[in-house]
Amino acid sequence: MKSRKSAVIGLTVLLGMAAAGLALYTGYSVKASVPSLSDALKNIPADCQFALGINVQRFTASPVYAKMRQGQNRPMGKGLADFIEKTGVDPARDVFYMVAAGRSEAKLKGEGVAVMIGQFHSDAIAAYIRSKSSPSEMEYAGSPVMMFPERGSENVRRGVAFLNDREIALGDLESLKAVLDIRAKGNKSILLNPAMAPLINGITSDEMFWFAADAAGALSKMPLTTPLGTSVTSIQSVVGTLDVSEAVVGRITVNAINEDAAMKLAEVVRGFVALTQLGSDKNADLKMLVGGLKVAQNASQVSIELNFPAELLEKLERTNQLPKPPPGN
């Protein structure tokens, strides 16, 4: 099992970097030379209800990636270094953009797909994987697919599909087939999804991190014990971006079903901010963090803006002082 994990760490490390970076840094002023956002999204199936993206070139120019590269003694650092050495693919140089997407239905829990756009050596990556594990190999719609057994089981669950030397997809087998069917069968992509396309069209390739969700579909299965409580059912869509230079700067835009629903949602968010402010009077760092949150409502739309020093979030995370969301309504 250890060897199988080593085999895929070079590919899945980018997903981990995206999660870590989203929590710490985004939005550097470096102008990334990346394909258009549609180059990545054209491979995402039309029925996906949410998507997120990362401009990898901008991310690898950030302090987060520098720290990861310095931590070569850590498992992820070692795995990434080995992957780079054996395949000749370095995320800082060769990966331009990554988009991940999925659906929220219970029967599809845990399924989804990520597509990376860049300059890859597919044969070298495949050889690296074979040297570390024994994947199940197949061809689907003219593309090589390598699948790995689920932990503690012989069932095939996750894998990688090599679309070409510029596009690689990661995910469960059905999701990978859905990606490949876009080209092989002419199936529609998320760019033609009537709910998702308008959200995505407002996002540019220059955003370091972004996410968009057809909340009416994606959140419909969410339990009402979430921090937003019953307000979840009034949300139609959510779009967010996160950007960092010396400060973490982000914006989340929530579209509600009507103005009354938006007003109630804004009240819930303002209540959370107020409660956190009350508990931060003796903590200057936490007070600065909460002070950087601004909530506004305009008709049926609620916007949440954040702006605070980048080092502040990392400091609060180290000391475990980040505010916890209130219990559900």
Which range (22-31, 79-88, 99-108, 215-224) has the least confidence? 22-31
Residues 230 and 109 in one domain: no
Q: Based on the domain organization, do 111 and 233 belong to the same domain?
A: no
Q: Which amino acid is at 250?
A: G
**Whether pLDDT at 22 is above 50:** no
- Token pair for 59: 């991310």
* The pLDDT value given to residue 165: 87
Q: Residue 207: pLDDT above 60? A: yes
At residue 191, the pLDDT reads: 95
pLDDT at residue number 35: 57
Asked if 177 and 290 sit in the same domain, the reply is: no
If we measure between CA atoms, which residue out of 61, 62, 80 comes closest to residue 71? 80
Of the candidates 172, 192, 212, which is a domain's last residue?
A: 192
Is position 211 within any domain?
no
How much is the pLDDT for 17?
36
Exposed / middle / buried, residue 23 (Cβ in 10 Å: 0-12, 13-18, 19+)? middle
State how many domains the chain has.
2
- Token look-up 């069917």 returns 181
- Residues 178, 301 share a domain: no
Question: In terms of domains, do 27 and 165 share one?
Answer: yes
* Domain-embedded: residue 201: no
In-domain check, residue 124? yes
Whether residue 55 is found in the same domain as residue 164? yes
Judge whether residue 138 has pLDDT over 70: yes
Give mean pLDDT, residues 305-317: 76
Do residues 20 and 165 share a domain? yes
Q: Residues 148, 227: one domain? A: no
C-alpha torsion sign, points 310, 269, 281, 322: negative
Residue 157, both tokens? 């669950």
Task: State yes or no: pLDDT of 298 exceeds 90.
Answer: yes
The edge-to-edge listing of strands for the beta sheet with 209-213 is 136-140, 143-149, 156-164, 167-172, 113-118, 95-102, 50-55, 209-213, 235-244, 247-256, 301-309, 293-298
Q: Quick one: pLDDT at residue 205? A: 84
Helices (H), the chain: 2-24, 37-41, 56-59, 63-70, 75-87, 91-94, 122-132, 173-184, 197-200, 215-218, 259-278, 284-291, 310-318
- 3-state SS assignment for residue 35: coil
Average pLDDT over residues 16-22: 36
From 105-114, 189-198, 207-216, the region with the lowest mean pLDDT: 105-114
Please name the residues in contact with 194: beta carbons below 8 A apart, sequence gap of 6 or more.
none
Res 173 pLDDT > 60: yes
Q: What percent of the chain clears pLDDT 70, i.e. is strictly above it?
A: 70
Residues 247 and 297 reside in one and the same domain: yes
Helices (H), 212-258: 215-218
Residue 228 has pLDDT above 80, yes or no: no
159 shares its domain with 26: yes
Domain membership of residue 209 (yes or no) is: no
Task: Kindly state whether residues 11 and 62 are assigned to the same domain.
Answer: yes
Specify if 197 maps to a domain.
no
Hey, what are 144's tokens? 């090589």
Confidence of residue 152 (pLDDT cuts 50, 70, 90): low
Q: Read off the pLDDT band of 74 (50, 70, 90).
A: low
**Domain annotation covers residue 244:** yes
Predicted confidence band at 294 (pLDDT cuts at 50, 70, 90)? very high
From residue 240, alpha-carbon distances to 92, 163, 208, 287 in Å are 24, 29, 11, 23
Q: Is 85 exposed, middle or buried (0-12, 13-18, 19+ CB in 10 A)?
A: exposed
Give the amino acid at 324: K
Is the pLDDT confidence value at 124 over 70?
yes
What's residue 291's pLDDT? Answer: 80
**Does residue 40 sit in the same domain as residue 172?**
yes
- Of the candidates 175, 192, 209, which is a domain's last residue? 192
pLDDT at residue 275 in the model = 81
Residue 216 in any domain: the answer is no
The pLDDT value recorded for residue 67 is: 62
Looking at the whole model, is its pTM more than 0.85? no
Tokens of 292: 């950087």
Q: Which two tokens stand for residue 167?
A: 């596009």
Overall average pLDDT of the 58-84 stretch: 69
pLDDT-derived band at 215, boundaries 50, 70, 90: confident
Summary mean pLDDT of the chain:
77
The amino acid present at 292, given as its one-letter code, is G
* DSSP bridge pairs for 53: 99, 210
Give pLDDT, residue 1.
46
Final residue in a domain of this structure, among 143, 172, 192: 192
Mean pLDDT computed over 292-299: 91
Radius of gyration for the alpha carbons in the chain, expressed in angstroms and rounded: 21
Residue 63 belongs to domain spanning: 2-192
Question: Is position 57 within any domain?
Answer: yes
Element (H, E) at 191: none
